[in-house]
Copies of this chain bind each other. A is one copy, B any other.
Amino acid sequence: MITRIREDIQAALRQDPAARNWLEVILTYPGVHAVWGYRIAHFLWKIKLKLFARIYSNWIRAVTGIEIHPAAKIGRRFFIDHGMGVVIGATAVVGDDVMIYHDVTLGARGIGSGKRHPTIGNNVVIGAGARVLGDIKVGEGAKISANMVVTKEVPAKTMVDSSEFFAI
Contacts and interface: CB of A to CB of B under 8 A. Distances in A.
B67 A82 contact: yes
B84 A61 contact: yes
A44 interface: no
Interface of A: 15-18, 20, 23-24, 27-28, 30, 50-51, 54-55, 57-58, 61-65, 67, 69, 71, 82, 84-85, 87, 89-90, 101-103, 105, 107-108, 111-113, 116, 127-129, 131, 133, 145-150, 152, 154-155, 158-162, 164-168
22 contacts: A16-B111, A17-B111, A18-B69, A18-B89, A61-B65, A61-B84, A62-B63, A65-B65, A65-B85, A82-B87, A85-B102, A87-B102, A87-B128, A101-B107, A107-B128, A145-B149, A149-B162, A152-B168, A155-B168, A158-B168, A159-B168, A165-B165
